[in-house]
Amino acid sequence: MLIVERNAEGKITAIRLGEGRSDEEPASLLDPEVSDFLRIGGGNEAYAGMLCLTDHSLVRVLEDLIDLMIAKNIILFTELPPQAQKKLNERKQLRMKLDGADSLLVDDVV
């Protein structure tokens, strides 16, 4: 989650990635104020950095979409290239060890 930090005048002073506390303001990369802050603060390098920060969550969404399509028999796991099968299995095993469950994030959206 992106968190916005503001000064006493309400201007953005920092944007960071992390779990927000109840007194902190979540942010979106699409927010015009956030875009202005990034453009002024670092131009394309800042945008590239923020884009990289979203990669992890997007990978999780893609994994969940693949699992959902397999569960609904839209695709077969065996139709995926062998290397893709291997990587998905490795990540699924790691997630099981970390979460203790195989829950889909996409279920919350669909």
* Confidence at 97, pLDDT banded by 50, 70, 90: confident
Number of domains in the chain: 1
Q: Provide the pLDDT for residue 2.
A: 76
Range of the domain at 27: 2-108
Q: Provide the pLDDT for residue 9.
A: 92
Report which of 81, 50, 88 is spatially closest to residue 67, judged by C-alpha positions. 88
Asked whether 5 and 27 are in contact (CB, 8 A), the reply is: no
Q: Provide the pLDDT for residue 88.
A: 93
Query: Phi/psi zone of residue 21: left (φ > 0), alpha (ψ -120 to 50 degrees), beta?
Result: beta
Between 42 and 76, whose confidence is greater? 76
Kindly tell me if the per-residue pLDDT of 78 is higher than 90.
yes
End-to-end CA distance of the chain: 21
DSSP code at position 23: T
Q: Provide the pLDDT for residue 35.
A: 78
Between 70 and 60, whose confidence is greater? 70
Residue 81 parent element (H or E): none
C-alpha–C-alpha distance, residues 69 and 74, integer Å: 5
Q: What is the mean pLDDT of residues 53-66?
A: 85
Q: Provide the pLDDT for residue 82.
A: 95
Task: Provide the token pair at 37.
Answer: 């802050």
Q: Provide the pLDDT for residue 109.
A: 43
